[in-house]
Structure formats: structure tokens, C-alpha cells
Chain A
Amino acid sequence: MAEDIAYQFDVESIRKQFPTLSQEVYGKQLVYLDNGATAQKPKTVIDAIERYYEVENANIHRGVHFLSQQATDKYEEARRVIQRYINAPLEEEVLFTTGTTGGINLVAYSYGELLSEGDEIIISAMEHHSNIVPWQMLCERKGCILNVIPMNESGELIMDEYRKLLSSKTKLVAVTHISNTLGTINPVKEIIRLAHDSGAVVLLDGAQSIQHMPVDMQALDCDFYTFSGHKVFGPTGVGVLYGKKELLDRMPPYQGGGDMIEKVTFEKTTYNGLPHKFEAGTPHIAGGICLGEAFRFLETMDLEGIQHYEKELASYAESELLQIEGLRIIGTAAKKTSVVSFVIDGLHPFDIGTLLDKQGIAVRTGHHCTQPIMDFYGIPGTVRASFAFYNTKEEVDALVRAVKRSAEMLR
């Protein structure tokens, strides 16, 4: 298997473009396996951030001067790069937000204003807290009802139960494309088709999918899709919400302020068109521009190859980890991405994570902001290794060695 992985993908030349990866921590070579939390940045993105603040900084959409015009052009060009990448029909359907959480809250607030008492919203049992709490807040505000698609022991949504939950009362379905904790790839095309048959709109939480697979807004036909810049090799504090124009046009503004208005008087204010209607105030200009840079980087990558390579890494990690006594993989869906969540009987994930850290291995431990999943499995948390295309088979070996050593120490 090692040889297979090696020749399909020139991982060493890719790693050279990610400076963070080459450092040592606690005197050990860093093994970064916390990509589900945030991804490292390629040099092109880091250079773009530096360039922006060194020579390009200006406010956008309002200045007549050279720098402002240039920054505006770059910001709007980034929007078009992202539009192209996700195959959104129109550039004004690509809204800059603060991240996935920002995108979901925007929809929950603004689209939520179109809902009324008794309307139903469907989420799933494997949602991140960010795709649970905004809907609970909406339900409290508007008297809507929240329904949850259950999952089976493997961590797959039970589609028959989903069908039963759908009715003419269902107005919105908000599900994650890929589970951050379990790695499950949900059958989103089917979820969207069924929701549309019932007259409901669909929001996909794309925080864990866009960095791992091609996502095509037109092929998916989702109504909203949202993701975070920092998980897709871009800066923190910026993200994207894609929404269909006809929906965004009907939705009221989320926040008021500069940039989102057409004309302001004390008597009445009229709002700007898309996307600016939803982008009040000075945005994270450097973030937007450099997120565009991250997508330019991704455009140079072979996405099918990435998917294959990451899957191979994760499968190899699972099979090696399973050799360890008492180790169980949490999340064994037939369709999975490169997330490996595990527990070891009798050992606390926090203890394992602490010892892995001291051996240079960066993983995430805990409930991963998905407490309902932990309750479902009756565990306090998991240890999660999440892989990106710059990880290697040698890093998997280092992980497995370190987990073995940690387990021996803790037993």
C-alpha cells in the first residue's frame, strides 16, 4: 500500500509549499493531523496576506483613489474565483461572511424571517453545534419546530426516517455535507431532491467538504452552501455563503450598516443589491482576497487525485490503528472522507491527546462541538485525526506509534 500512495501523488513537493509543516514541536517533527479544525496555508496565501498589508491596503467600494480601486477589484475578483470554483451561476450569489457559523446564522436569521409559527426545520443527528443552535434560536423566535434525522451505529443518516419527517410543513433542511466528527459523506443530492419535492429549501454545511472534493452548486442544486476560509487553506475570519439569487432577493438584510444601503434618509432607507445587501460594514478585505488566492492554489491541484490520496491515507490509518488493543473507530460509514475518530476502551481521549501532543502529533480530542454524537455513542469524546493532501504515510506511522506508546503508558 505504501508504494501505491507514494507514486500517485507527489506529496513532498506539495509539503514544501506549506511552511508550517516543516517545524518541530517539543523537539519532535510536527505531525499535523488536525486539518478538520483548521488547515495550514500555502506560501502563496501567506505571501498574499503580507502583500496586502504591505502595499495594497485600502478600503473598498467607496474610494476614488488608486489603492481603493485596486483593492475593490481584487476583492471582487476573489469573489469570481470562488464563484468559478464552486460553479455558482452568478457572482452575486457568493456572499462573503465570517465563516460557516456566520453563513448559517445569516440564513437562520434572514431566511428565518420568512418563516412562521408551526413551520418545520429539519437538521440531522450529526450536526456541528453551529448547525444546531442557530436553528434552535430561530425556533424560539418564530415558534418553528425542529426535527432531527436520526443516524445508525455506523454514523449514516437513516434516509427512511428523513422521508417520514418531510411534509408540506417542512420549510428548510439544514444538514452537513460531511460530518466533522465521523467523516460520513452524506447523500446530499438525494436529501436535496427529496426536500425540493416537499417544497423545502436546503442549506448544506460545507465546512468539511469543499477542501476534500469538487463541489458544484449547479449539480448539487442546493439552495444555500456555506464554508469557512481557514479550513480550505485560506485565512481565518472569512468564509462564504452561496445562496440562490431568487432566495437572497426575497430575504431581508441581516445586518445594517455601510455598504449594504442604496440610499439613507431618516425617513426611509433603501437597500443595495446583491451581494452587498448582506455585506454590511467594511469586510475582511485581506481575508476575501487571500481566500481567492487559496482557491487559485486549489485550482492547480488534481481534485480527484486528492480525494483518492486522502482516502488511502485514512484507510491505511484505520487499518493500522485497529491493530491496537481495545481501539474502536467511531464513524464507520460506507462513504467516508479522511477523518479517523477513535476511542480506546478504558482510556480517556483527553489523556491520549495530551500524550500525542508531547510526541509532536497534533490531533483534536473531545466532543468536536458535536455533543449529541457523543451522547449517541455514550462516550465522553474521541481522538480525531483528520488528514489533508499534504499528510504522508510516514505521518500515519508516527501517529500509530505514538498512540501505541500513549496507550501503554495509560494502561
Chain B
Amino acid sequence: MTLEEKQQDIIDEFAIYDDWMDKYEYIIELGKDLPMIDEAKKTDDRLIEGCQSRVWLATDVQDGKMRFTADSDAIITKGIIGLLIRVLDGETPKSVATSDLHFIGDIGLQEHLSPTRANGLLSMVKKMKLSALKAAAE
């Protein structure tokens, strides 16, 4: 599945919700269910301090593919992280670095990636892309 197909998949999943609370119910379930980062990897150098919630991000390159695991102390943030990882994990460095993550806006969650939201998600996406750029250059 291409990165674009994965985004479309998520957009289709969210299309059934016309109520905000139902949408968030689903994000919360994603946050609860998804296996996240190893506790041992929750180190300060992987911590992204948001004003509101904290995010840990571990990046790796395996067989030419970007691998991401991440976690947050806030469950809604965690659910959105799950969606971002679903789209970006396993992609090539080039594909991650140049990705246009339009699905976030399409499913109505753009506010979570706004600079004023300060939940660490915008910084996380930037870090993901930077690590991909670095991997692509190597």
C-alpha cells in the first residue's frame, strides 16, 4: 500500500463519523489499543516537550525503510500518533521527507498539528521528516 493509499484508507474510515464525539471516541480507542514505544526508549533525548502533552519519538532505519515508534502521556495525542505512524512507518526516507500529510486536515484534526496547539505533534512530525532527510542523505 502506498503512503497515499494509507492516507485514503484513514480518510474512508473517518468518513462514517459525522459527530465530533464519535470521531474522538474512535481516536481514543486507537490510542488505547496501539502498542507504542518500549518503556526503555522513553528517554529524555527522545522526549518532545509540548506545552500541553509530552511525546516520545524513537526513529530507526531498517533495510532502507524508516521505522517509527512513539508515545504520549495524553491519549488523544497518542491516537493521532498512531495514525501518523500507520502512514509513515515502513516508508522510504524520501517518501517520508516529502510526504504531504493531508489526511489530518481531511479528517478534521488539523488543529492538532497547529503551532499554537503545543501538544508536541507538530514537533514530532518535523522530527520524523528530519530523521528521514538525514537517512536519505546517508
Contact surface of A with B, Cβ cutoff 8 Å: 26, 348-351, 353-355, 358-359, 365-367, 380-381, 405, 409-410
Contacts and interface: CB of A to CB of B under 8 A. Distances in A.
Nearest to B32: A410
A380 B118 CA distance: 14
Contacts of B51: 366-367
Query: Interface centre among A349, A353, A366, by most B CB within 10 Å?
Result: A366
A240 B28 CA distance: 44
A402 to B, nearest CB: 10
A345 to B, nearest CB: 14
A348 B21 contact: no
Interface string B20-49: 110011001000000000000000000000
Given A26-B20, A350-B76, A365 B28 contact: no
B76 A351 contact: yes
A358 B52 contact: no
B7 interface: no
19 contacts: A348-B73, A348-B75, A350-B52, A350-B53, A350-B76, A350-B77, A351-B28, A353-B52, A355-B21, A358-B20, A366-B51, A366-B118, A367-B51, A380-B54, A405-B21, A409-B21, A409-B28, A410-B28, A410-B75
B25 to A, nearest CB: 6
B24 A348 contact: no
B92 interface: no
Contacts of A351: 28, 74-77
A348 B53 contact: yes
B114 to A, nearest CB: 13
B24 A358 contact: yes
B120 to A, nearest CB: 10
Q: How large is the interface on B (under 10, 10 to 19, 20 to 34, 35 or more residues)?
A: 10 to 19
Nearest to A359: B21
Given A348-B73, A348-B75, A410-B75, A354 B24 contact: yes
Contacts of A350: 52-53, 74, 76-77, 119
- A interface: dominant SS: helix
Nearest to A349: B52
Contacts of A405: 21
Contacts of B118: 366
A349 B77 CA distance: 12
A380 B77 CA distance: 14
A381 B74 CA distance: 11
Given A26-B20, A366-B51, A409-B25, 7 more contacts: A351-B28, A366-B118, A367-B51, A380-B53, A380-B54, A381-B52, A409-B21
Query: Interface centre among B24, B52, B77, by most A CB within 10 Å?
Result: B52
A354 B54 CA distance: 15
Contacts of B73: 348, 380
B72 to A, nearest CB: 8
Contacts of A359: 21
A191 B121 CA distance: 43
Contacts of B53: 348, 350, 380
Contacts of B20: 26, 358
A380 B75 CA distance: 14
Contacts of A409: 21, 24-25, 28
Would you list the 6 A-B pairs with minimal beta carbon distance, nearest first? A348-B74, A358-B20, A350-B52, A350-B74, A350-B53, A351-B76
Nearest to B23: A358
Nearest to A358: B20
A284 B74 CA distance: 40
A327 B74 CA distance: 17
Contacts of B77: 350-351
Nearest to A353: B52
Contacts of A365: 52
A161 B73 CA distance: 36
